[in-house]
A and B are shown apart, each in its own frame.
Chain A
Amino acid sequence: MNKILELRGLSRKFDGLQAVSDVDLEVERGTVIGLAGPNGAGKTTLFNMISGFISPSSGEVYFEEYDITGWSVTRRVQAGITRTFQESRVFPGLTVRENVLTGRYPARDRNLFDSLSSDSGGAFKGSGSPLKWILEVTNLGDYGETLACNLSYGYRQRLELAIAIATDPKLLLLDEPFSGTHASDLQELAGLLSTLRDAGLTVILVEHDIASVTNVSDRLVYMESGKVTIPND
C-alpha cells in the first residue's frame, strides 16, 4: 500500500468558472509533493476537495484505497488527512499549549509519536509527551502559556503547523506554509518537513515560490488554469 492518495478526473466548476479540470494524481506514502502555480491556478480548490471542504463537480478522491469523495471534513481528519489554511488560523483566545492540545483530538487513539521516536533515531528519543516534542520542534517551547492572539505572524504560522502535526496525520496538506518566512526559518521548516517525511508522513504543500518548494519536495507538480501540466519533476 504505497499509494496513499489518488485523484481521478477531479474537477470543480464554480458558476461558469472551471477552477479545476480533470486532475489525475497519484501520491506515494512518505513523500513531500510541491504543488506550485500562479494565482488562480486552482491549487487551493484542489486542497479543498482533498480535505473535504468542497465537493468535486466530478471525479473521485481515494485515500489509502478508500473512496473518500463523499466523506465529511471531520471523518477525513479522523482518517488522517489534515490541512492548514492560507491565513494561518489558530485559536486566538487560547494559549499556545491549549491550541496544540486541542489539535490532539483526533490523535487520541492513534500514535504517530511512538513511531517517530523509534524510527528516526536521534532527535526525539526520550522527549516525553508528544505535546512537548511538538512545541520544541516548531520552536514554540518558550511560548507555551502565551495567548495565541499575542503571537507575531511568524509564530502564528508555526503554531498552525504545530496544531496540524498534533492531529497525528498521515497526509498533511500545507497551504503556503512558507509565505512571509525568513530564510533562516525556511531552513528549519524544511528540516522539520524532512523529519516528518522520514517518519512516514506524506506532505503536499502549495507555494507560489518555486524555489522554496523545490528544495523541500521530492516531487513537483505544476498547476495552471485548473490543470496539472507537469506531473513529474
Chain B
Amino acid sequence: MIKWGILPKFILDGLFLGSYYGLLALGVSIIFGVLDIGDVAQGGLFTVGAYLTYTVVTDLGFNYFLAPVFVVPLTALLSYFLGTFVYRKLRKYGIAPTFLGAVSLLIIVQSLVAMLYGERAKTVSSPFLPRMIEIGPASIFSHKLFVIISTGCLAILVWYLLRRTRWGKGLRAVSQNQEAASLVGVDFTTTAAVAFIVAGSLAGLAGFLTAPVYTFTPFTGRMPVLKAFVISKISMGSIPGVLALAGMIGIAESLTSAYFLGEFSNLIPFVLLIIVTLIRPEVLGPEEVSRIRRNLSSRIKFNLTPLKKYLWVAAPLSLVLLILPVLLNLPSYLLHLAVAIGTASIAVTSLDLLYGYVGSPSLAQGGFFGVGAYASAVLTTNFSGSVLLGLASGIVFGGLIGFLVGSIGVRTGRHWTSFTFISTIIFTILFTNLDSVTGGPSGLSGVPILSLSFPGIGTQGFNPFGNKEAYYLLVVTVLGLVLAVKYLALKTWFGRSIKAIREDEGLAKSIGIPTRRYKILAFSISAGIAGLAGSLYGHYVAFLHPELFNFVTSFRFLMMNRIGGLGSLLGPVFGSISLTVVEEFTRPLSSYLAQLVFSGILILTLLYFPEGIAGILRKGLAKVLPRGFVETAGSGKSGDTVEYEADGEKSSHE
C-alpha cells in the first residue's frame, strides 16, 4: 500500500539527488555553453573529489571540512588540463571525435582511480551529528540536508560569477555568439579556461559533498554525470533551468523508486531526453554551421584488376590459414583467444559499417551485442538448441531493435554519437531490470549448447568447453560470411549511397539520396550483425550478465575499429587482435590497465593517427606498389586534409 506519510521524506531525498546532479550539470552546462562539448569526463573528476576526500579524512585523519582545500585545486586543475590539451585539439575534428575523447578521458580517470585505490567500495563518515534530522513531518540524513544547503550556496556563487564578474560576462557572451564576443575583446582561450576551472571545481565539490552519503567505487561517477549531461542538454544553458530540472528529476527518481519502479527510476532522465529530442531535436545542440577538418589520408584507391587472377590462389590459401589452428591442435587457450577475437571482429565489422562507411560512430553496439546474446539464449532455451535458431534470433532481434533505435536516432543529426551513448545506458538499465527475461544483475546461466543437424550425417555439437575447435570453426565461418556480405553490399547502391553520406551528407541529400532512410537501414543492418556476434559470444561464455554489454563494451568495439582502421574489411580484425592481445598481456598487472592504455591510444589515434593500423598498412602498400596501381589522397593541391561546412544545407543569406 502506498504510504503517503513518508512522502515529504522522499521529496527531501529527491532534492538531495537533484542537488548533486545539479552541481554536475552546472559545470557541464557551462562547458557546453562555451565550447559545445559534452564533457562527461567531469564524472571522473566527481570520482576524484570523492576519493580525495576519502584520503584526506580517512587516511590522513583531517577534518572533513578541510577536504575542499585539497579537492578543489586538484579537480579544477585537472579539468583545465583536459580542456586545454585534449579538447581544444579534438574540437577541430567535429563533435563525434570530441565526444569520444571525453568518454576516453572518463574511462582513463576512472581506471587510474581504480588502479590507485582498488575497486572495493569506500566510505567516508559524515561529520554531522545527530545523523538524522526532523523537519516537520519528514526526516532526512543531516548530511543530505547539508548537501542541499551547500548546493544552494554554490548555485548563488555561480550565479554571482556569471552575472557580476568580468569572466562570467565573458562566458555568457561566448555562449551566445563566439565571433561577436571576440570582436568585443573577450579572449576565448581565457574564457574556456575559466569554464573548465569552474566546472572542475563544481564536480570535485559534488564528489566531496556526496562522499559520506553513499559507499562509492571508481565507477560511481558514471551515472550522475550522464544524468547531468541529459539535464544540461534539456535545459539548454539556462542556469535556473538546470537547477530546476535537476531538482525535478531528483524528486521524480526518488518518488518512483520508492513507490513504483525500483531501479527503473534510473531510466527517467534518459527517457525524458529521448522524448524531448523527438519533439524538439535542437535540444541536443545548435544547428549552426561549423567547420570540420577531416583527414583523408586513408583514402587510397587500389586499382588491383591486374592482380585479380591471383585470387584463385589467395582464396584457398586463406582458407587453409584459417583452419590451421585446428589442424595444428593448438592449445585450447589460444583457441579461446581466437574465438574472442573472432566474435569481436564480427561486432566491430558491424560498427565499421556505421563509423567507417556512413561516417557516424555509434556507441550502441554493445547494447545490440547484448540483445543478440539474450535473445538467442532465451529462444534456444525454450525451443531448440539449433545453431540456426540462435544466430537467426541474434540477427532478427538485433535488427528490429536497431531499426527502432535508429529511427529515433536519425533525428538527432550531428549529435548522433551522444544519442547512441545514451541508448547504451538505457540498454544497460533495461538488461539489469528486466529480471524475468535476462536474469537481472545476478545474470543468466545455463545458456544452451548449440548444435547443427546435418540430415543424414549426424549432429555436430558446439560445446565451448569440450570442443573449442568446433566453436572456433563456427566463429570463423560466420566471420567470413559477414565479411563477404559486407564486401558485396558495399558494391551496391546501398554502399555507394552510404559512402556519399560519409563524404558530405548535405551534398548527398542535394542530389536526391534519401539520407535518413539509408542511415536507418545501415543502423539496422549493423545492429543485426552486432546481435549475431552477441549470440555467438553468449553461447560461448554460457553466462550472461548486464555488465558484459554496457558502454565499456561499446567503447572497446569503437577502439578496435578506430585503431584497426575505419572503412576497411580487415581493419576490424586488426583492431580486435591488437586489443585482445594487449588485454591478455596487461591482465596480470591490473584489469584496468588495458582500459587505461587503450583509452589513451584512442585519443592519440583521434588526434594523430586517424587512419589506424589498416590505414598505415595501406599507406605502406601504396608506397611499395608502382604508381599505376594506386591513387592516394594528398597528391593534389589540398593535401590530405579537407575542411568544410558541417551542415551545408544552410547556405549563406544572399
User: A-side interface residues toward B, CB under 8 Å?
Assistant: 14, 17, 19, 39-45, 48, 51, 53, 73-74, 77-78, 82-83, 85-87, 89-95, 98, 101-103, 105-106, 108, 145-147, 149-152, 163-164, 166-167
Which chain B residues lie closer than 8 Å to A45 at the CB level? 653-654
Distance between B566 CB and nearest chain A CB, rounded to angstroms:
11
- Option from A85, A91, A147 in Cβ contact (under 8 Å) with B648: A85
List of A residues within 8 angstroms of B638 by Cβ: 149-150
CA distance A199 to B632 in the complex (A): 38
Q: Are A78 and B512 in contact, with the CB atoms below 8 A?
A: yes
- Let me know if B511 and A106 touch, CB within 8 A: yes
Other A-B contacts than A53-B649, A53-B651, A92-B299, 10 sampled, CB-CB below 8 A, are A41-B654, A73-B649, A89-B644, A91-B507, A93-B299, A93-B503, A98-B499, A145-B303, A147-B633, A149-B296
B55 at the interface (CB under 8 A from A): no
Q: Which of A73, A74, A149, A164 contacts B642 (CB 8 A)?
A: A149
B601 interfacial by beta-carbon distance below 8 Å: no
Across the interface, do B497 and A19 meet the contact criterion of CB distance under 8 Å? no
B636: contacting residue among A85, A105, A150, CB under 8 A: A150
Within 8 A of A (CB), among B154-175: none
- Which residue from chain A places its CB closest to the CB of B497 in the assembled complex? A105
Residue of B whose beta carbon sits closest to that of A79: B512
Given A42-B654, A93-B503, check contact A103 B649 (CB 8 Å).
no
B584 within 8 A of partner (CB): no
Interchain CA distance A80-B635 in the complex, whole Å? 36
List CB contacts (< 8 Å) of B486-516 with chain A. 493, 496-497, 499-500, 502-504, 506-515
Given contacts A42-B654, A53-B649, A152-B637, contact A147 B497 (CB under 8 A): no
Q: Are B509 and A73 in contact (CB under 8 A)?
A: yes
What sequence of 0s and 1s flags, for each residue 270-302 of chain B, a beta carbon within 8 Å of any chain A beta carbon? 000000000000000000000000101001010
Min distance, Cβ B409 to any Cβ of chain A, angstroms: 19
Question: Are B504 and A91 closer than 8 Å at their CB atoms?
Answer: yes
Is residue B652 within 8 Å, beta carbon to beta carbon, of the partner chain?
A: yes
What is the 8 Å Cβ interface bit string for chain B, positions 624-654, against chain A (1 contact, 0 not)? 0000000111111110101011001111111
Check if A14 sits within 8 Å of B653, measured CB to CB: yes
Decide if B512 touches A105 in the complex (CB within 8 Å).
yes
In the assembly, what is the distance between CA of A41 and CA of B652, in Å? 12
Residues of B within 8 A of A (CB): 294, 296, 299, 301, 303, 493, 496-497, 499-500, 502-504, 506-515, 631-638, 640, 642, 644-645, 648-654
Binding site secondary structure of chain A: mixed
Of B500, B512, B631, the residue contacting A106 (CB under 8 A) is B512
A-B contact count (CB 8 A): 132
Chain B residues positioned under 8 Å from A108 (CB to CB): 493
Contact A94 B635 (CB under 8 A): no
Nearest chain A CB to B534's CB is how many angstroms away?
Answer: 31
Whether B510 lies near A83 (C-beta < 8 A) is yes
Whole-angstrom CA separation of A93 from B506 in the bound complex: 15
Chain A residues with CB below 8 A from B303, complex form: 145
CB proximity of B266 to chain A, nearest CB, Å: 38
- In the complex, A108 Cα to B514 Cα: how many Å? 14
A73 and B516 CA atoms in complex are apart in Å by 12
Cα–Cα, bound, A147→B636 (Å): 9
Interface residue from B299, B507, B515 paired with A149 (Cβ < 8 Å):
B299
Contact of A74 among B499, B503, B514, B645 (CB under 8 A): B514
Report the minimum CB–CB distance from A179 to chain B (whole Å).
13
Residues of chain A within 8 A of B644, CB atoms compared: 89, 92
Contacts of B504 in A (CB 8 A): 89-92
Q: B residues within 8 A CB of A150? A: 631, 633-638
Q: Which residues of B contact A89 (CB under 8 A)?
A: 504, 506-507, 510, 644, 648
Contact of B631 among A43, A145, A163 (CB under 8 A): A145
A85 to B509 Cα, complex, angstroms: 13
Contact partners of B637 in chain A: CB under 8 A: 150, 152
What is the CA–CA distance of A147 and B298 in the complex, to the nearest angstrom? 12
Q: Contact between A74 and B509 (Cβ–Cβ < 8 Å)?
A: yes
Indicate if the CB atoms of A51 and B510 lie closer than 8 Å. yes
| B512 touching A74, Cβ below 8 Å | yes
Can you list 11 A-B contacts (CB < 8 A)? A39-B654, A44-B654, A77-B510, A86-B651, A86-B652, A90-B504, A90-B507, A98-B499, A101-B496, A102-B511, A150-B635
Residues on the A chain within 8 Å of B514, using CB? 74
Q: How far is the CA of A93 from the CA of B299 in the complex (A)?
A: 6
